[in-house]
Amino acid sequence: MKPDLHSRRPENSSLATRTAPLRTGAKKIFVKSYGCQMNAYDAARMADVLAPEGYAETADIEDADLIVLNTCHIREKAADKVFSELGKVRMLKEAREAVGLATTIAVAGCVAQAEGGEILRRQKAVDLVVGPQSYHRLPEMLRQAAFGPVIDTDFPVEDKFDHLAQPSDEKIRQRGVTAFLTVQEGCDKFCAFCVVPYTRGAENSRPARKVVAEAKRLAGAGVREITLLGQNVNAYHGEGENGDDWSLADLLARLAKVEGMARLRYMTSHPNDMRDDLIRAHAELPALMPFLHLPVQSGSDRILDAMNRRHSAADYLRLVERIRRARPDIALSSDFIVGFPGETERDFAATLELAREVNFASTFFFKYSSRPGTPGANLSDQVAEEVKSERLARLQDVVEPQRRAFNAALVGKTIEVLFEKPGRHPGQIAGKSPWLQPVQVDGPENWIGRVAAVEIVECSSNSLFGRLRNNLGPSGEGNRP
Ligand code: 5AD
Ligand code: SF4
C-alpha cells in the first residue's frame, strides 16, 4: 500500500511540542532494522551513540521518543516497506502528540542514502534522514532536528567508527554471546544488479588494531562468537597491527588469539576474493567455523558475465573444490538471483545444474528486482514476473532437499554447540551448531555462553534436537566471565 504522500502534521502540532528541548534522563529509542546483518550491527551502534545522550532502548515502539527505521534498499520490496511503515509511524506520532508527547522519526540506512530528501518530501512526519556513513553524527542531528528536518547522507572524510560510543559491558551482555563486528564496508565490484556500491560507497577496511580492540571488549563482556561483517568481507585489506597490509586471513588469525573467543565467522564474500591464505585459514584455524556464505548468483556464464561477476560457473566449482579440500566438513551457502534480464530457460537450467553439483547446506534465492541507478535497470529483455516466480519455485525444489539432507545427516552425530539463549520450553537451552543450525537441548541456563558436546537425536525442517554429552563435559573454554 502506498503511504499518504501529502500528509501534514495536524494543526495542533506546534513547533514547541515537536521541538521540546531534549529532556535529560529517561528518553527512549526504538530502532527497527531491515535487511542485512550489517544493518543489525549499525542499529546497535546507533543505540550506543545515543546512550550517552540519555536514550535507553525500548522494545515498545509506542513508548519511544525517538523511532529509527534502519532501512534496506537491496530489492524494491524492501524499499517499499519503508514507506508503508512510515505511514504507520506517522499515525503513532500523531497519537502521541495528542497526549502531549513528542516523537522524533529518523530514517537511517540504505534507503536514506539512496532517496535522501525525497523521503522528507514523501513523508512529512520524518524529522531526520541519516545515511549509513553518518550515524555517528546522530546526537548533533537530533539537536538540529528540534528546529526543522535534517538530512545527512554525506560520505564524510572522518571515520564514523572513531566517533561512536562503545557499548557498556552490561549492554554487550544483554545482546548475547554472539555478536557482529563490521571490519569492512562498501564495495568496488559493481555487480550489475546491486545498489550497494552506491549506498555504502567504496570499499573501506577498518584498521586491525581497532577491530581487535572491539573484539577484546566483546569477549571481555562474555561474547564467545564474532561474525566479521563486510559487504565484501573477504576483500578486507586493512592496516595490520604491525603496520603491514593485513588480509582477512591475517585478521582472523589474530582474532583467534583473543582470550575467550571460541568461534569466528565472516560474511559476505565474493568468489574472486577467496585468496589462498583465506582458504588455508579454514584448514588451520580451529576457531574459524566450517561454514561459508559464498554467493554465486547464477550458474550461467552468459548471465554471470551480464551481471559483471567476473568469474565463470567453472571457476566457482573449482573454488568450491579447493575450499572443500582444505576443510572437508565445510558447509556452503549461496545467494541466487533468478530472472536477471536476458535469463533464458537454458541459462536457468545451468543455475539448477550448478546448485545440484555444489550441494549447498543452505540457500537464499531472490527474484531479480530492478534497482534505479544500477546497470541492470537499463537492460532490455527484463524477465516476466510469472517466469521469475516459476523459476524460483524450481530452484527451491532443488536446494530445499539439499538443506534437509544436510540437517538429517547430523542425527546420531555428536557436535559442538555454542549455547546462546533459553530454549523454546522451560528447562531447555538453545544454541548453534558450527554450521549455523539452531540446536535445542534440555539443559541448565548457566550453560549459556559455553561450547559443549551435544549428541543430535532428531531434526525438524529447521532445527536440530540433542542431548548434552555430560560424560564429555563442556569442551568450550569455560564459562562466561
Ligand atoms: N534483485 C534481487 N536480488 C538482489 N540481490 C542484490 N541485489 C538484488 C536485486 N537487484 C541479492 C543478491 C545478493 C543478496 C544480498 O541480495 O543475491 O547476494
Ligand atoms: Fe553488490 Fe556485487 Fe558488491 Fe556483493 S559484490 S555488494 S552483490 S556489487
| Shared-domain flag, residues 264 and 219 | yes
Q: How many Cα neighbours within 13 Å face the side chain of 220? A: 9
Please say which residue of 326, 358, 390 terminates a domain: 358
| Shared-domain flag, residues 21 and 98 | yes
| Shared-domain flag, residues 328 and 453 | no
* Ligand closest in space to the Cα of 335: 1
Contact, 267 vs 246, CB < 8 A?
A: no
- Dig out the grid coordinates for 233 from the structure: 568481507
Instruction: Return the residue matching grid coordinates 502506498.
Output: 2
Whole-model pTM?
0.91
Structural domain for 351, as ranges: 161-358
| Shared-domain flag, residues 186 and 142 | no
Domain count, the chain: 3
| Shared-domain flag, residues 173 and 297 | yes
| Shared-domain flag, residues 172 and 304 | yes
With respect to residue 377, please indicate whether it lies within any of the assigned structural domains.
no
Percent of the chain scoring above 90 in pLDDT: 88
- Whether residue 210 has pLDDT greater than 90: yes
Instruction: Return the residue matching grid coordinates 566479521.
Output: 228
Which residues have CB under 6 Å of ligand 1? 74-75, 193-194, 295, 297, 335, 337, 366, 368-369, 371
Higher per-residue pLDDT: 22 or 222? 222
| Residues 287-317 pLDDT 10s | 999 999 999 999 999 999 999 999 999 999 9
Residue 276 is predicted with a pLDDT of 98
Minimum-distance ligand 2 atom for the alpha carbon of 195: 1
With respect to residue 220, please indicate whether it lies within any of the assigned structural domains.
yes
Q: What's the DSSP call for residue 273? A: G
Contact, 37 vs 227, CB < 8 A?
A: yes
Beta-carbon contacts of residue 199 (< 8 Å; ≥ 6 apart): 73, 110, 113, 114, 131, 132
- Whether residue 8 has pLDDT greater than 60: no
With respect to residue 369, please indicate whether it lies within any of the assigned structural domains.
no
| Shared-domain flag, residues 266 and 296 | yes
Instruction: Return the residue matching grid coordinates 532501512.
Output: 71
Please measure the distance between the N-terminal and C-terminal CA atoms of the chain and give it in whole angstroms: 49
CA distances from 398 to 76, 188, 199 (A): 26, 32, 33
| Helix, strand, coil percentages for the chain (3-state, nearest 5) | 40, 20, 40
With respect to residue 389, please indicate whether it lies within any of the assigned structural domains.
no
Please tell me the distance between residue 240's alpha carbon and the centre of ligand 1 in angstroms.
Answer: 32
- Whether residue 272 has pLDDT greater than 60: yes
Q: Which residues pair with 334 in a beta bridge?
A: 363
Q: Compute CA 334 distance to the chain's CA centroid, rounded to the nearest angstrom.
A: 15
Mean pLDDT, range 151-180, rounded to an integer:
89
Please tell me the distance between residue 359's alpha carbon and the centre of ligand 1 in angstroms.
Answer: 21
DSSP letters spanning 214-267? HHHHHHHTT--EEEEE-TTGGG-EEE-TTSSEEEHHHHHHHHTTSTT--EEEEE
With respect to residue 392, please indicate whether it lies within any of the assigned structural domains.
no
* Ligand closest in space to the Cα of 202: 2
| Shared-domain flag, residues 248 and 352 | yes
Mean pLDDT, range 51-58, rounded to an integer:
94
Residue 470 is predicted with a pLDDT of 67
Residue 25 is predicted with a pLDDT of 53
| Shared-domain flag, residues 151 and 165 | no
- Whether residue 10 has pLDDT greater than 80: no
With respect to residue 405, please indicate whether it lies within any of the assigned structural domains.
no
Mean pLDDT, range 335-349, rounded to an integer:
98
Contact, 338 vs 297, CB < 8 A?
A: no
With respect to residue 384, please indicate whether it lies within any of the assigned structural domains.
no
Residue 162 is predicted with a pLDDT of 84
Give the pLDDT band (50/70/90) at residue 157. Answer: confident
Please tell me the distance between residue 377's alpha carbon and the centre of ligand 2 in angstroms.
Answer: 15
- Whether residue 21 has pLDDT greater than 90: no
Which residues have CB under 6 Å of ligand 2? 187, 189-191, 194, 196-197, 231-232, 270
Please say which residue of 105, 128, 155 terminates a domain: 155
Instruction: Return the residue matching grid coordinates 530514517.
Output: 107
Residue 194 is predicted with a pLDDT of 97
Contact, 398 vs 352, CB < 8 A?
A: yes
CATH number of the domain within which 130 lies: 3.40.50.12160
CATH number of the domain within which 323 lies: 3.80.30.20
Residue 26 is predicted with a pLDDT of 80
Cα distance between residue 397 and residue 355, in whole Å: 11
- Whether residue 278 has pLDDT greater than 80: yes
| Shared-domain flag, residues 122 and 224 | no
Mean pLDDT, range 137-158, rounded to an integer:
92
Instruction: Return the residue matching grid coordinates 550497494.
Output: 196
| Shared-domain flag, residues 306 and 220 | yes
Taking phi over 0 as left and psi of -120 to 50 as alpha, with beta for the rest, 169 belongs to alpha
Mean pLDDT, range 232-236, rounded to an integer:
97
| Shared-domain flag, residues 118 and 173 | no
Protein residue with its CA nearest to atom 5 in ligand 2? 189
Minimum-distance ligand 2 atom for the alpha carbon of 309: 2
CATH number of the domain within which 424 lies: 2.40.50.140
With respect to residue 51, please indicate whether it lies within any of the assigned structural domains.
yes
| Residues 391-405 pLDDT 10s | 999 999 999 999 999
Residue 161 is predicted with a pLDDT of 86
